[in-house]
Every structure is written in C-alpha cells, then in structure tokens.
C-alpha cells in the first residue's frame, strides 16, 4: 500500500466511547490500547472522530459527530465553535467548566507537587451575562486575504489548522469589538495593503477602545482615510504598528490619543496601559482577584511587601494602599516605566518599581534580603522556580501565588511545602477565561512556625 493510501486509511472516521475529559475540553477515548484526545467530546459520550495528529503515546482527533450525547452537553453559543481555536468548553455550562478546571488543579497539585491544601477555596468568578460573555478586553486578531473566499478573514486561528477562522463575530470579545469582525473584514478588504496587514491588536479599556493595525507596507493616503473613517464611525482609536511594540504610533501624527486605563475602585486606583501591554483579559474577574489576593495576604499597615512579576502594577499599587512599603520587580523595562507612571498617576509614594530578570537572579541581590513580611507572585506560565529557590533568603512568612499554569504552580508548591517549611493553607481556581481551557488559580502559603 502506498504512503498516500495508508494516510487516507488512517484518517478514516472512527467511533468510540469517551472515558474522561481534560481541563481544556478534550474527551479521552482508548482505542486499540492507545489514547485518543477528541476535542469537544464529553465524558460518557459515544462519538465519531477523525485523527488529525499522531504522536508516540497518544493521538489528537477532531470531533465529527456525537451519536450518544451526555446529559451535560449544551448548545454552544458561538457559530464558530469547534472550528475556532479560541474557546473549547462552550458545550458545557459555566459550573461544569469550573468543575473541570478545579479537577485539573487538584490533580496537578497531587501528582506533580505531591501536596494538598488544608482547605479549598470556592471558585472565583463573575456570575451573569458579563461574567462569561463579552469579557475579553485584550486579543490579537489574525488577518488573511483569502482569494478563494473573495474576502479578508479576521479572527482567531482554527483549532486544527494554522488558518484564520471564517467567523463573523466573537461572543467572548468585549464590545464594541465582538461585533466588529465583519466590519473589520470589509475595511481591510478595501485597503491597498490588504495582503500586507497580518494582525490587529485589540485593547478595550474602561474608557476607550484602541485597535492597532500591524502594517508591513506603508498605507496609502486612501488607506489612511478609510482607517480614519472607520475609527470615527465605530468610536474607536486606531494606531499603526510598523515594527516591534515600540513602533506603535497614532494613525495621524500629532493626533491626540486618550490613554487606555482600567479602574480598581476598591483601592481608588486608575491604571493606565498601552495597547500592547499585558493586562488581565477579564476586567471584572481581575477586580475580584486583586481584592481576594490582598485579603489572603493579610497585609498590615506596618508590612513590607515584595511583588514579583509585577507588570504595570496591577497588584503592586493596590498593595501600596495597605502596606508601609512595596517593592515591585518586573523583567520588562517598559512595564517598569508604566508601573512608575501609574504610581505617579495615583499619587502613590510608597511603591518602587525595579527591573530585574527573575529567571536569572543569583541570590546575592541586595533587595532579596531587605526584610519582607509578605510576598506576592504572579509569574508567566513557566512559573517562579528561580524565585522559589531563594525564598529562604527572602524570608516572608506568608506568600500568595497567582498562577496561569497549574503544572508549574504544583511544581513550585511542592518545593515550598516539602523543602522549605511552608504549609499550603488554601488553593482554588479563578475563572479568568470562561469557555476556554485556561486555568488561572491562587494558592496561599504560610510558613510553619
């Protein structure tokens, strides 16, 4: 049999019963002794699937049909669900989604960290329409001029292919952008550089929305006019990006641009950010998360607090409202400068921002042993392994760890608990990304006396 005929045979539809489900919405079936992960399938269902990627220990498959559905299955709200790679859990209600994510956190802590919290926190989420839909305030939309379709596609990548999903709106993007997918497609389709515009950065602040168009060639005068008319018609700000993040500039030179900002009302804070800055995508859940993290940190007016991986000051400035002093450390200099700007903007004088690559700290930095009562950690997906190794030098008796990856959180929790004398007091999930497989979580550690 030729290689092509063999490949076609391997890709033939198959039927199996789903035994369990992963946190990111993949049903697991065992077929001829090998696991197959079927995106979108639920536990207990019988499904028809097609293998898309073969690996040594498991295969990945696309769901073709559900012949025996689970009672938990609901109708996805988005017309692009199953094709778009953004959301993977819309076939479940919000409570069932959170149960899967909590199970993932529990499993990682037990299996990787070999730890268990003394208590489990209730999931942190915002209920109602704004909690699960129209929440995403930061996104990067892909753009592709597809001649075969006769239009420019604007949206997220497909789940099973590197193509831009043919979608017409997005149910999780905050307005007005959730409803602007088709208007953006029409706009780019009228530009002379339609084939040289690969992405649009979306930043939806409390006060204004900004769209950053990445352009590989200079727009014509007619292009600039079309972009300006779009901005006026939809009440958004438009900028152009010709290179790296530092090249972002207003559509028209000299044009006044309103600073993007979001508020943390409980702490009387207004935090400014640039459209390419990292900010938590879910504003409502972020407000709850900041409040709950500081509550669990048990900050007193006399405390000195170390905020590591601080970004633009999301936690730092709120901590400064409670503590005597906060030192905020971040690896990106632009984020450090933004944090300083936000401290000045809010008249905060007891919070210093400093640049340091926390993946390369050596242990002899003076700030490490400057006498810290509390530590807040909010690292990227890679976790805080290098910092955790130096916790005996930092010496704080209480640590709150915000994580976007349960595996690295579990790894670091294992070190804190089994090697450094901390107790995992509590842990729980934060539903920052409804309908997706992303698991945000919080863990509280207390030094054992």
Catalytic residues: 404
Angle (CA) 320-403-336 rounded to 5° is 45
d(CA 399, CA 171) in angstroms, rounded, equals 36
**DSSP sequence for 223-265:** HHHHHHHHHHHHT-EEEEESSSGGGEEESSTT---PPEEEEEG
Q: Cβ(295)–Cβ(121) under 8 Å?
A: no
Helical packing angle, 221-234 and 181-189, nearest 10°: 160
Nearest to 193 by CA among 230, 250, 143: 143
d(CA 371, CA 393) in angstroms, rounded, equals 9
Beta bridge partners of 249: 240
22 φ, ψ (degrees, to nearest 5): -85, 170
H or E element at residue 272: strand 269-273
H or E element at residue 400: strand 398-403
Q: What is the DSSP letter of 218?
A: P
375 φ, ψ (degrees, to nearest 5): -135, 135
Q: Cβ(439)–Cβ(101) under 8 Å?
A: yes
Nearest to 112 by CA among 376, 400, 359, 418: 418
Give the total residue count for the chain: 449
Around Cβ 55, how many Cβ atoms within 10 Å?
A: 10
d(CA 163, CA 144) in angstroms, rounded, equals 8
């Amino acid at each position: 049999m030729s290689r092509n005929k063999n490949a076609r045979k391997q890709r033939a539809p198959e039927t199996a019963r789903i035994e369990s489900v992963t946190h990111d919405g993949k049903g697991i079936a065992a077929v001829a002794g090998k696991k197959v992960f079927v995106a979108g399938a639920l536990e207990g269902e019988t499904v028809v699937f097609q293998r898309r990627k073969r690996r040594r220990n498991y295969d990945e498959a696309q769901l073709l049909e559900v012949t025996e559905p689970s009672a938990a299955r609901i109708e996805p709200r988005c017309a692009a669900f199953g094709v778009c790679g953004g959301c993977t859990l819309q076939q479940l209600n919000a409570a069932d989604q959170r149960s899967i994510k909590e199970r993932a956190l529990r499993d990682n802590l037990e299996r990787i960290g070999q730890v268990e919290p003394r208590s489990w926190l209730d999931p942190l989420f915002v209920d109602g329409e704004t909690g699960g839909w129209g929440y995403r305030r930061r996104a990067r939309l892909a753009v592709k001029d597809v001649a075969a379709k006769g239009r420019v596609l604007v949206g997220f990548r497909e789940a099973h292919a590197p193509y831009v999903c043919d979608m017409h709106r997005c149910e999780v993007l905050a307005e007005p952008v959730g409803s602007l997918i088709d208007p953006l497609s029409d706009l780019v389709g009228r530009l002379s550089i339609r084939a040289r515009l690969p992405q649009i950065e979306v930043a939806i602040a409390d006060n204004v929305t900004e769209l950053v168009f990445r352009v590989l060639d200079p727009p014509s005068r007619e292009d600039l006019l079309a972009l300006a008319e779009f901005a006026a018609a939809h009440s958004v700000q438009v900028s152009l990006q010709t290179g790296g993040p530092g090249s972002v500039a207003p559509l028209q030179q000299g044009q006044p641009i309103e600073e993007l900002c979001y508020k943390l009302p409980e702490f009387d804070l207004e935090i400014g950010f640039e459209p390419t800055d990292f900010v938590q995508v879910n504003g409502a859940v972020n407000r709850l998360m900041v409040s709950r993290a500081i509550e669990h940190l048990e900050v007193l007016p006399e405390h000195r607090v170390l905020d590591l991986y601080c970004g633009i000051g999301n936690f730092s400035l709120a901590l400064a409202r409670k503590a005597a002093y906060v030192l905020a450390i971040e690896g990106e200099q632009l984020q450090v400068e933004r944090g300083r700007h936000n401290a000045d903007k809010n008249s905060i004088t007891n919070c210093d921002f400093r640049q340091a690559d926390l993946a390369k700290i050596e242990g002899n930095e003076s700030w490490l042993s400057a006498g810290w009562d509390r530590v807040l950690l909010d690292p990227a997906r890679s976790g805080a392994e290098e910092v955790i190794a130096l916790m005996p030098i930092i010496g704080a008796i209480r640590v709150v760890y915000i994580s976007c990856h349960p595996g690295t959180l579990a790894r670091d929790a294992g070190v804190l608990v089994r090697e450094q004398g901390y107790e995992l007091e509590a842990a729980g999930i934060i539903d920052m990304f409804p309908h997706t497989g992303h698991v945000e979580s919080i863990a509280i550690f207390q030094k054992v006396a």
